[in-house]
């Protein structure tokens, strides 16, 4: 099956920017997503980008997509302790059931 | 709206026992999904449903069964629990195909099989 890869951990200081990276293998991916999972809770959609875009900004969040390198990143500006969570990258194929494939998640730890 | 609700929150099963994980959504969504999340891993799709009466296998369906008799409910059945089924189970729903609409997740059921 198609793969979505992420690093497992990221530690940043409060107020700094965080950059979480993701690579995927499916060249036919249409939508790419970032989900946030807080402790003890389900996943919540944070933002998404369509494959014909290379950047999307939403308040403190910036998503960058390099389709040639199949690389997706999520930048969180002015990271706060409330941003501590697991962030999952996911991609939707262009055919079949369209059900997303998820990465293993990156644990973001924000310390004062 | 309560969104997607799951019961129970936690459960410990002995090997060979059976149980049903309940999932209900009150958003009138057509699509529903069951995922499992193993430690340090991403979500793996077990089964999904595109509407009442229609279900299909995902990536890891062995050892599980589902039914979808109503739009609201999508229970997941484990017939003969095995230690390999120790995981956190998430139910999700979407109004339409995930290509077109956001998936909403329940809070999860943490299952331990010993």
A81-91: average pLDDT: 94
What are the tokens at A104? 């293993």
Q: Which residues of B touch A30 (CB under 8 A)?
A: 99
Q: What pLDDT was estimated at residue A2? A: 58
Strand partners, A7: none
Whether residue B92 and residue A1 make contact (CB cut-off 8 A), yes or no, is no
Contact A71, A89 (CB under 8 A): no
Mean pLDDT value across chain A: 91
Give the pLDDT confidence of A43-83 residue by residue, as tens digits: 999 999 988 889 999 999 999 999 999 999 999 999 999 99
Contacting B residues, span 40-79, partner chain A, CB-CB under 8 Å: 40-43, 45, 48, 56, 58-59
Q: How far is A75 from chain B (nearest CA, A)?
A: 20
Q: How far is A22 from chain B (nearest CA, A)?
A: 13
């Amino acid at each position: 099956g198609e793969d979505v890869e992420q690093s497992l951990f990221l530690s940043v200081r409060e107020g700094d920017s965080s950059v979480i990276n993701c690579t995927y293998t499916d060249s036919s991916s249409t939508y790419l997503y970032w989900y946030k999972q807080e402790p003890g809770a389900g996943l919540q959609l944070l933002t998404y980008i369509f494959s014909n875009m290379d950047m999307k900004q939403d308040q403190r969040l910036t998503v960058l997509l390099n389709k040639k390198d199949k690389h997706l990143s999520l930048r969180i500006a002015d990271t706060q302790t409330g941003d501590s969570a697991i962030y999952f990258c996911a991609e939707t194929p262009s055919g079949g059931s369209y059900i997303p494939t998820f990465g293993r998640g990156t644990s973001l730890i924000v310390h004062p | 709206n309560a969104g997607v609700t799951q019961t129970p929150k936690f459960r410990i099963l002995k090997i060979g026992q059976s149980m049903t994980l309940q999932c209900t959504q009150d958003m009138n969504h057509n699509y529903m999904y069951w995922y499992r999340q193993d430690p340090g891993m991403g979500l793996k799709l077990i089964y999904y449903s595109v509407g009442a009466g229609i279900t299909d296998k995902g990536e890891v369906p062995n050892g599980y069964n589902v039914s979808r008799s109503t739009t609201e409910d999508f229970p997941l059945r484990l017939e003969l629990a095995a230690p390999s089924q120790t995981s956190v189970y998430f139910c999700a729903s979407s109004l339409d195909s995930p290509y077109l609409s956001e998936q909403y997740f329940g809070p999860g059921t943490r299952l331990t099989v010993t």
